[in-house]
Structure 1
Amino acid sequence: MPRQPRLDLACIPQHVVQRGNDRQPCFFTDVDRVRYLQDLREISMREGCNVHAYVLMTNHVHLLMTPAASGQIARVMQSLGRRYVRYINDRYRRTGTLWEGRYKSSLVDRETYLLHCYRYIELNPVRARMTADPLDYAWSSHAHNAFGHDDPLIHPHPVYLALGRTDEERYNAYRTLAMENLSQNHLDAIREHLQRQHALGSDRFRSAIEAQLSRRAGPAKIGRPRKVPQGE
């Protein structure tokens, strides 16, 4: 049975995760992380995708992006994945795959879940007990979104911009949000919908997606999601 295409619509944010093959590392030094982010910036700009949040973990990557047109995120991930694998194989004189199959993605309802996904992504190192303070983790967008540190990769989403009238108001508001732990229900919902590649949001949001794509975008109702592995 052929696999269904991903849910993909212009101007709808997507939460994307790509894992290392067999959960093995995909970054070995900080030089690798710098190279990945440089390539991501170049390719996302070329394709017309805005990156709002990211985190580079040892063996996987989370991205929050909005495409200007359908198909752009797929092209970003394909180009980025191939270029980065060539770089890693050349640098470390290795062969074979680096990534675990296709990336996974979930459309995100900007009205109900977008800022939850910002926080889910940037607080990943805290949940993984790699740091107690997300600001101390250098390989995420938290320093930019919460403190205004320069990060040319990031394009703020209008929902983020609505947190305040000035940059300082937005940083303060976002820091306050980041200090609040996501509920277990929110964590489970984000993980479950990403794993199943369903649209994450209200019933109204999913119905609108289904009407545009003429296919199911998720379960008819959101119950309590089944448990999935934590720390990602």
Structure 2
Amino acid sequence: MPRLPRLNLIDIPQHIVQVGHNNLPCFFDGEDYQFYLISLRNAADQYNVDVHAYVLLPNMVQIIATPRVPNGIPSMMQSLGRRYVQYVNHRYKRSGTLWAGRYKSSLIDSDAYLLTCYRYVELRPMYLGLAESLGDYPWSSFNHHASVVQSEVITDHRLYLQLGETPQERAEAYRRLFRYSFDRRLLEYIAETIKLGHVLGGDVFKEKIEQIANQRVRPLKRGRPRKSENETLAGPGEPSSRKIDEDESVAGHEKVNGEVDNKKAGEIAAMES
């Protein structure tokens, strides 16, 4: 299934993923991780982007962020990527690319999926066997959300702030979100949306995005368009009882193919409710 055009809408959170070239490492020691986080904070400030969650893995970066100005995230990622590649090439006396092309991104229906995406991102180190507990991994936003240790990189989203009146209450409520395992289908759904650049959300949210962006965000339904009732009644080789001109036929084709099968998304969204 092809990727849809990338969308960058102000005040809509995005899940961002950037992978090392050929899945090779892009961080080699603690100093590299520290430099990337400092660069992320500076680029986010410069281009007016709120970073809500992140994880830095040996060969991958995942970030959840909200742009406050048009093209905030593309500008931030371009600046961040360029600066970090220059740093790595200079430090390790190397040349060439570090990342596997452009970053991938997916818009997030914050009310339905934002805190779920926090968990998805921050659980990566444990799923990959990089830490025995989330608090042991220093290169993610988990300790910011689950304790009173504050990160200079993070700007808290309203949904996180609504977890409690005080930092301690919010941290305790956030830790409770990790008591239950992720449903496998939900993990696959989130991974698929970021891989294909699809919107993570239900029909109402996707329709809202299509209206704002004035473009389609849902993939076309596969298969040939369904025949009309008149065409079905007509015998082989016979014309239908109603003449359909060329323009009307094309419009009908687009309408049928514009319908979206939301069975999978609906099942997974139901698990979140």
Specify the TM-score bucket, using the shorter chain as the normaliser: over 0.9
| Structure-2 residue corresponding to 1:70 | 70
Distance between the aligned counterparts of 1:137 and 1:222, measured in 2? 37
**Alignment partner of 1:29 is 2:29:** yes
- Larger of the two Rg values belongs to structure: 2
* Structure 1, unpaired ranges of 5+: 226-232
> Which residue in 1 is equivalent to 2:147?
147
SS in 2 for 1:27: coil
Greater relative CO (CA pairs within 8 A, separation 6+): 1
Which of 201, 212, 222 is the aligned partner of 2:262?
222
| Equivalent in the alignment of 2:254 | none
Q: Secondary structure in 1 aligned to 2:35? A: helix
Paired residue secondary structure (2:118): helix
Runs of 4+ in 1 over 2 A off after TM superposition: 218-225
Note the C-alpha offset of 1:4: 6.1
CA RMSD of aligned residues (A): 1.3
Calculate the TM-score normalised by the size of structure 1: 0.93
Q: Which residue of 2 aligns with 1:188?
A: 188
Distance 2:218 2:57 in 1: 28
For 1:159-178, list aligned pairs within 5 A.
159-178=159-178
Query: 1:14-49 deviations in whole A, cap 9, x for unaligned?
Result: 000000000000001110000000000011011110
C-alpha separation in 2, matches of 1:51 and 1:165: 21
Contact residue 47 and residue 75 of structure 1 kept, 8 A: yes
Q: Give the secondary-structure state (helix, strand or coil) at the position aligned to 2:110.
A: coil
Q: What letter matches 1:25 in structure 2?
A: P
Structure 1 match to 2:8: 8
**Distance in 2 separating the partners of 1:186 and 1:34:** 31
Residue identity (%): 45
Alignment of 1:22-171 (within 5 A): 22-171=22-171
Q: Number of aligned pairs? A: 223
Q: TM-score, normalised by structure 2?
A: 0.79
Shift, 1:182, TM fit: 1.7
Structure 2: which 5+ residue stretches go unaligned? 220-259, 266-273
